[in-house]
Structure 1
Amino acid sequence: FPLIAAEEPEAHLHPNAQRTLYKQLIASNGQIIISTHSPYLAALANQSELRALSIASQGVCVNQLNVNLPDEDKRKLQREVIHSRGELLFSKAIVLSEGETEEQSLPQLFTKYFGDNEFSMGINFIGVSGSGAKYRPFLSFAHDFNIPVFVFSDGEINTTKELKKNYDKIFGETDIDNSPNITILDRTDFE
């Protein structure tokens, strides 16, 4: 039974060369194990094949995506998170917001407050491009890979309702008004 293990095969390869190498590796017979920091390689893997390893006080933790999601949720997770935002696999924390304005402004406020940029601290700011329902694939991803997630949202009533519904479905019943990792502007809009 052949086993191929490749540690960071993306080194010194441009994105298309990485993708080509990945296709060649998975076409091999036997089991393939790839250790990578490349969002391009991660985006090509099936959701059921992805694992994120992290060091914890009790040793190494292995996290994986919930493979029992409805097909539509799997599709959104693949398209909106893994394929488009593969760098989130390597985040130490994720900050979600509704749109483009917040995605551009919050990192600047973060840098001003902390005196360091978000990337050096492993934090990604993501605009989900829409209402509370758009948060779902990102929340699911963060939950499954045990990545701390923070939400910054406008106080629009429909958005808040959708956010609560999706947050509760993934993390369990939560009082989002008093949650330390959720900030909802009081009936106003960030712009």
Structure 2
Amino acid sequence: MYGEKMTGVTVWLTGLPSSGKTTIAHEVAARLAERGTRSQILDGDELREQLCADLGFSRVDRETNVRRVGFVAELLARNGITALVPVIAPYAGSREEVRAHHLRAGTSYLEAFVDTPLDVCAGRDVKGLYARQRAGEIRGLTGVDDPYEPPEAPDIHVVTVGRTVAESAGEILAALDRRFAMVAG
């Protein structure tokens, strides 16, 4: 509403490639829509094509990618949108930079670690990345031959093995309800 403080939140879903981040984000978005809560998914692959097409996959470029995405997420959240960000963000330091940016801006932030074992992710291989890495076609695959630094103390730890997408999304929604008293908006 005009003249009233609008509050949103950034929910950063981090995890290995094919861990289920984007699938869970879509389920969370659908459930938020049912509640009348506005949300926007900032899909890592789409942002790589549009906002960050000039970047490669070196550590510096990956960190720059995370900072750019974090800036957009904070901007959306500051303006009353729940920003759902399913982006690998492999390095703890760059994830902490995004959190700190939100803190300085007074914008709510929640880190969700989508914890799926590497062998399960490789078995899913929704984009064919693991197969391409094994075939020697690509190098620098996060969690295989490039590091992934799991969060030591995420706000939400979503273990996906043995759970449905709906259950994982429900865990994130419950955390949002507890922490931010989400209201329709």
TM superposition score normalised by structure 2: 0.35
Q: Which has the higher contact order (CA 8 A, sep 6+)?
A: 2
TM superposition score normalised by structure 1: 0.34
Query: For the pair shown, which has the larger CA radius of gyration, 1 or 2?
Result: 1
